[in-house]
Amino acid sequence: MRIVNEGKNIQYFDDMELKICEAISHHVQLRNKSNICYQKAILSGDDEKMLGPGNCFFYMARESVVEFIGYI
């Protein structure tokens, strides 16, 4: 409630959005490093095949975050 009273709620949500985006990006990077299909796509230079696992991991991480936010 203090955040609202001080008029800092927009800044708070902006900070939370930034932290969530950073967490998702970090998760995707970790998953890509350990994914064999992604590594093979990098070695072959196949951009389309690199996007598949990356997008999949992004949505998996995003779904986890959305579920967590639902509990708050």
> Which tokens belong to 62?
């995003």
Question: What pLDDT is recorded for position 1?
Answer: 62
CA distance 28 to 52: 12
* Across 14-35, average pLDDT: 85
Among 9, 10, 16, which residue's Cα sits nearest to residue 68? 16
Banded model confidence at residue 72, pLDDT cuts 50, 70, 90:
low
26-56 residue pLDDT tens = 888 888 888 888 888 888 988 888 888 878 8
CA distance 39 to 44: 9
